[in-house]
Structure formats: structure tokens, C-alpha cells
């Protein structure tokens, strides 16, 4: 079983992401990255052949009524993503900034191991380079402030993305939800409610989980944010 990502050549922007993804993934090898097996490129067709992730995206598991993630599964997913980022930033031949880390770009294999995918807007940091600039913006709500306002790309931006995803996966609230307007964001909403009103923050599916003591879950969640 394989997965094939076909590039829409009618879109100049999407066509450019093919080159960016090939450049970023050429020398990367890690258990928590989706493996690109091969590629096909000519004037009329471009595609990437990748390993198949049978359990789909984290986003599907978070927001579909037909799927459910336990606390431990969510914790393990975020550990897997952290491991991938550590490799991209510090373990790869050239540091790579993913730039668009979010639940839709994290896929799960048959053992529920998380694999970071979609390097279409990733940036390679040249030797000695700590940051760069770009005109390509990632998904609104996940952007680090300096990326959104000035297009500054750095490892710190990925760390910010990771923090937003960490909040999302335990609250089951997207940073783009309608309630987050003006100065209210996912981050400020959580900060304003923790630690006294944690039940309003935590995903209700975790609260209703059978056989798990609520105090243990609350202790763990508080540990993550403080």
C-alpha cells in the first residue's frame, strides 16, 4: 500500500511546493516523518509516492464523531511530533523549518505512531543561518507572531506551532474557532481559565472517559501548560 500525492499544476503556488517538498525531504530519514519513496516529474504531471498512513490524520481523529483519542494516545502523538521537530531542527544535515505544523499535517500509521507530513512550504536553513524571510504564509491561527507580521521564518516559529497544536489536541478547539476574535485567541483563552477552571478547557471527551480518574488527568494537563 502506498499513497500518491498529485500536484495541481494549474496552480503556480502548488507547483512550487513540489520542488520545496522534494528539496526538504531529499536527505531526511526519521521514524516520525512520512517517508517519500519516489517522485514523478515531467511537464504535464508531478507527484510524490509516499508510505501509506492507514489511520489518516490527527485532525480526523480529533474532530470526527466516529473516532476517539485517549489521553495517552494524545500524549504519545505530541511526543512523536516533538521527536520529529528535534530531528528537523538539530539532527538533519541542514536544519529544516516545517512552517505549517498542525493536526491535518500529522498522520498516524497502523500502530498510531505519528508522522509529520506536508513539507510544501518548508524552509532549509543554510549553514550559520538562524532565520530567513518568506512571502509564503502558513495556516492562520498557527502562525508565530513574527511569521504572520514580517514573514520571519525560524526554528522558534515551529516551536510556537507545536505549542498551539499541543493546546488544540487536549482542548479539541481549533485556533480558528469562531469564538476566537479580537484579542481572544486559543492561547489567551486557556491562560485565562487555567488552573481554576480547567474543566472548561479540557476536551469533554476526556472528561467522559470511563475508568480514568479525573484528578490524574487534571494533574497531567496542568503539568503541560505550566
Q: Supply the residues annotated as catalytic.
A: 100
d(CA 224, CA 226): 6
Strand partners, 48: 5, 39
CB proximity list for 62: less than 8 A, separation 6 or greater: 69, 103, 168, 169, 172
Helix (H, G, I), strand (E, B) or coil at 63: helix
d(CA 118, CA 38): 15
CB 111 within 8 A of CB 55: no
Amino acid at each position: 500500500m502506498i499513497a500518491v500525492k498529485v500536484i495541481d499544476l494549474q496552480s503556480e503556488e502548488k507547483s512550487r511546493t513540489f520542488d520545496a517538498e522534494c528539496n526538504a525531504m531529499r536527505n531526511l530519514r526519521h521514524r516520525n516523518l512520512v517517508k517519500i519513496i519516489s517522485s514523478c516529474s515531467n511537464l504535464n504531471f508531478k507527484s510524490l509516492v509516499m508510505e501509506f498512513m492507514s489511520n489518516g490524520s490527527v485532525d480526523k481523529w480529533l474532530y470526527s464523531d466516529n473516532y476517539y483519542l485517549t489521553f495517552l494516545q494524545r500524549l504519545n502523538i505530541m511526543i512523536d511530533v516533538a521527536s520529529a521537530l528535534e530531528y528537523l531542527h538539530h539532527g538533519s544535515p541542514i536544519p529544516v523549518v516545517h512552517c505549517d505544523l498542525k493536526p491535518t499535517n500529522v498522520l498516524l500509521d497502523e500502530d498510531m505512531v505519528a508522522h509529520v507530513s506536508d513539507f510544501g512550504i518548508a524552509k532549509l536553513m543554510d549553514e550559520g543561518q538562524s532565520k530567513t524571510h518568506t512571502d509564503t504564509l502558513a495556516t492562520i491561527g498557527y502562525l508565530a507572531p513574527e511569521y504572520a507580521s514580517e514573514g520571519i521564518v525560524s526554528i522558534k516559529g515551529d516551536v510556537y506551532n507545536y505549542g498551539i497544536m499541543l493546546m488544540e489536541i487536549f482542548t479539541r478547539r481549533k485556533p480558528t474557532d469562531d469564538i476566537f476574535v479580537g484579542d481572544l485567541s486559543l492561547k489567551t483563552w486557556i491562560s485565562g481559565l487555567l488552573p481554576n477552571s480547567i474543566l472548561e478547557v479540557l476536551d469533554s471527551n476526556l472528561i467522559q472517559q470511563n475508568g480514568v480518574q479525573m484528578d490524574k488527568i487534571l494533574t497531567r494537563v496542568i503539568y503541560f501548560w505550566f
